[in-house]
């Protein structure tokens, strides 16, 4: 982690759960962390909790399904810190889950917009930010799920599962594009899941 000390990380979905925990950890490892989520007050509480750490935490209100909000976060980061070095695409929703036969396109669009489109946009803007500063290192981390590897027989998460499979495929696509471009920007597409640890046949 030492090499990232003083660098800038964007974490989406920073207002609760895994995103808030990631922010706390990065701040404690001396990064300047920008949290993006809709519930600004929860992130402000986190900022208060982290105010004496060596890194910093800046909460920015953002609905990641609104492109203009996402652009505004990157503008804010550029203005405050110069740019983004690490992007943790964590914001994710499961949906209310009536299954594929009873679900609605509105809900499917919302899940896809949060879990997939927003991650692609934040990744692209992070790469742009790294390139415009003529840097050759950065890290994009896409928070997937076991549901990005297995299709569980649980109707309520089937669309979510599709979105996590898509995110995993798109992460690999991004990794290939970056490799072709000979950049030092890395893409991590998962927690390092050891498939053999799970007694389920991958799809
Ligand atoms: N928890 C698990 O067991 C588990 C397992 C596998 C994978 N995951 C993945 O891990 C990630 C985090 O999960 P979690 O359990 O920590 O979830 P969580 O506690 O429900 O947090 C979800 C985060 O996403 C944000 N978010 C949702 N919609 C958003 C939007 N439109 N714009 C901006 N932010 C939005 C929420 O912020 P606001 O509501 O404030 O906007 C919240 O901060 C997700 O990608 C999830 O799929 C979780």
Domain ranges of the chain: 2-193
Q: What is the mean pLDDT of residues 28-44?
A: 98
Q: How far are the Cα atoms of 69, 79, 108, 149 from residue 64, in angstroms, in the given order?
A: 7, 20, 15, 24
Of 4, 159, 160, 165, which one is the catalytic site residue? 160
User: 196 by DSSP, 3-state: which?
Assistant: helix
Ligand 1, from 11, 12, 13, 166: best to mutate by most atoms within 8 Å of Cβ? 13
CA of 114 from ligand 1 middle (Å) equals 9
Query: Ligand 1 atom 31: the closest Cα is on which residue?
Result: 63
Say whether 152 is catalytic: no
b/e sequence 59-97, b meaning 16+ C-beta within 10 Å: bbbbbbbeeebbeebbeebbeebebbbbbbbbbbebbeb
Per-residue model confidence (pLDDT) at position 192: 46
Residue 14, both tokens:
């920073």
Per-residue model confidence (pLDDT) at position 98: 84
pLDDT tens digits for 81-130?
999 999 999 999 999 878 999 999 999 999 999 999 999 999 999 999 99
Query: Taking the domain 2-193, which CATH number applies?
Result: 3.40.50.720
Give the C-alpha separation, 50 to 62, whole Å: 20
pLDDT tens digits for 137-173?
999 999 999 999 999 999 999 999 999 999 999 999 9
**β-sheet with 56-61: strand ranges across:** 56-61, 32-37, 8-12, 86-89, 138-142, 185-188
């Amino acid at each position: 982690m030492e090499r990232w000390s003083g660098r800038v990380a964007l974490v989406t979905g920073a207002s609760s759960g895994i995103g808030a925990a990631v922010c706390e950890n990065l701040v404690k490892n001396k990064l300047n962390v920008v949290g993006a989520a809709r519930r600004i007050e929860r992130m402000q509480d986190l900022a208060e909790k982290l105010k004496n750490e060596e890194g910093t935490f800046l909460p920015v209100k953002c609905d990641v399904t609104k492109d203009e909000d996402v652009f505004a976060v990157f503008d804010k980061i550029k203005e405050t810190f110069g740019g983004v070095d690490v992007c943790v695409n964590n914001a994710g929703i499961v949906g209310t889950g009536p299954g594929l036969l009873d679900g609605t396109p509105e809900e499917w669009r919302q899940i896809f917009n949060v879990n997939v489109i927003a991650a692609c946009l934040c990744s692209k803007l992070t790469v742009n930010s790294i390139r415009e500063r003529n840097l050759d290192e950065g890290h994009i981390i896409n928070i997937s799920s076991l549901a990005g590897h297995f299709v569980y027989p649980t109707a309520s998460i089937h669309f979510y599962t599709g979105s996590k499979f898509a995110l995993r495929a798109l992460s690999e696509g991004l990794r290939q594009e970056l490799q072709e471009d000979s950049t030092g920007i890395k893409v991590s597409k998962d927690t390092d899941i050891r498939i053999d640890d799970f007694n389920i046949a991958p799809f």
